[in-house]
Structure 1
Amino acid sequence: MIGTLVNCATILTGSFIGSRLKKGIREEHQEIMMQAMGLAATALGINAIVKYMPQSEYPVLFIVSLALGGLLGEKIHLEDRFKKFVTGFSNGNLAQGLSTAILLFCVGTLSILGPMESALKGDNTYLFTNAMLDFVTSSVLASTFGLGIALAAIVLFFWQGFFYCLALLLSGVMSPAIMAEISIIGGILIFSSGLSILGIKNFRTMNMLPAFLVPAVFFIIKSFL
């Protein structure tokens, strides 16, 4: 898992550098950077939706996934628990920034394909590429939300570790079809996160994260039928 470790290290480094820059950035400049990140997240979300929607074999699956995942997230109060956790590190808007960071770092195709390529082929190219992108993103996010963005590296480690282990155990089940469905859901959640940052609508995006599990469960069950 050398690629994942490098990816996490770049997020930690980028977060530290970004948090140092925050002290030298005036409030109005931080605001415009937040708006820029909101627009960037919105654009990335739209791009993922447009790119992967045509590849979907089950056009309704992402709707069912969001509905079931959202219900599960609300049931266990995922977002409230998350915010309660991060308030121990910041009294500001760190929760919103971490929510966006986790989505941007974990949902991208590179972050899903990367650990699978690493597990199955020993190829870390995708993960190293993703590491450079996450370095820039974490620097910008930390300059707005603070050093707490580094906590996203922990989530990334377990997220990529999950796909790494899953690829080893279920190599015959994991397919481009599953990743396409997950990427569609990810694009929608990144889009909603961008709208929240821009102040257009405050979505409870964190409560929808369990939606990522639904396509995997669906395809696993389908493979045994």
Structure 2
Amino acid sequence: MLGTLVNTAAILAGSLAGSALKKGLGKKYQNALYDAMGFAAAFLGVNAVASNLPHSEFPVLFILSLAAGSVVGEKLDLDGRFQRLVDRVSGRGLAQGLSTGILLCCVGTLSILGPIQSALGGDNTYLFTNATLDFVTFLVLGSTYGVGMCAAAGVLFLWQGAIYLGASALQGFLQGGLLCELSVVGGVLIAASGLSILKIKHTKALNMLPSLLVPVLWYGGRALLGL
């Protein structure tokens, strides 16, 4: 749970530091911070793919996962639903900031795959990276909406804690080849998010999230068939 605790503390620290600025961060500083985080996410994703793909039992599975998951995500319009939800609460002061912040810190590959990695192998790399991203995000949000943004930290803790406990309970199933495949697919999604932050390639990363379910279904099916 160390990674989740650090991530939670980062949101609290970012919110408090941002609220202390009061007048908000200048646009050029926001852009500089987001550019730095974009590069970090992009290269972390590339590293995850490069480190795990050579050990994959099914090297084409990640391609099938991305293709099938993206089609499902587009059909469900996850990105559009996210954007509409954010737009719906716009103009409502702190409610807008909290809704936006909670969605940004909870709905993402790092926040979902991070607790799984932490529970199964004690690897907190994704969560530490997510903590840095969230610190920057809430620094900006805190400077706009105030200290009330700290409430998002509690939501993130419960969200990642639930994923961590679930992964721990299913540890036997999630180990080995499945974790490798999830890391490859997750790495691509993280890299895609980084490219979007950098405005190099606009990608609806949320629509690609169902890709993470394909390796789970694949290995689950093989286990049921005794393969």
TM over 0.5: yes
Quick one: which of 78, 98, 118 aligns to 1:114?
A: 118
| 1:65-118 deviation line (CA, Å, top 9, x unaligned) | 1111111111111111111122245579x59x927973333334xx2132346x
**Structure-2 change in CA distance of 1:207 and 1:151 (3 Å):** farther
Gaps of 5+ in 2: none
- Whole-angstrom CA distance in 2 between matches of 1:11 and 1:196: 23
Q: Deviations over 1:10-29 (max 9, x none)?
A: 25414413532584532211
Which residue of structure 1 aligns with residue 162 of structure 2? 161
- The CA deviation at 1:207 is 0.5
Partner of 1:187: 187
- What is the alpha-carbon distance in structure 2 between the residues aligned to residue 177 and residue 3 of structure 1? 25
Deviations 1:164-195 (A, max 9, x none): 22542x44422221111111111111111111
C-alpha distance after superposition, 1:42-64 (max 9, x if no partner): 11111111111112111011111
Q: Tell me, what secondary structure is at the counterpart of 2:173?
A: coil
8 Å CA contact 2:116–2:163 kept in 1: the answer is no
Q: Which residue of 1 aligns with 2:174?
A: 174
RMSD: 3.4
TM-score where L is the length of structure 2: 0.75
- TM-superposed CA distance for 1:8, in Å, is 5.9
In the alignment, which residue of structure 2 is the partner of 1:199? Answer: 199
Q: Which residue of 2 aligns with 1:39?
A: 39
Supply the distance in 1 between the matched residues of 2:155 and 2:6 (Cα, whole angstroms).
Answer: 11
Which residue number in structure 2 is paired with residue 105 of structure 1? 111
CA spacing shift, 1:200–1:136, aligned 2, 3 Å? closer
- The Cα of 1:3 is off from its aligned counterpart by 5.5
1:132-151 superposed matches below 5 A: 134-144=130-140
Distance in 2 of aligned mates of 1:14 and 1:130: 19
- TM-score in terms of structure 1 length: 0.76
> Structure 1 residues 37, 23: CA separation in 2 closer, same or farther (over 3 Å shift)?
farther
Is contact 2:16–2:150 with CA below 8 Å preserved after alignment? no
CA contact (8 A) 1:98 1:151 kept: no
Q: Structure 1: any 5+ residue segments left out of the alignment?
A: 118-124
Partners of 1:49 and 1:150 in 2: how far apart? Answer: 34
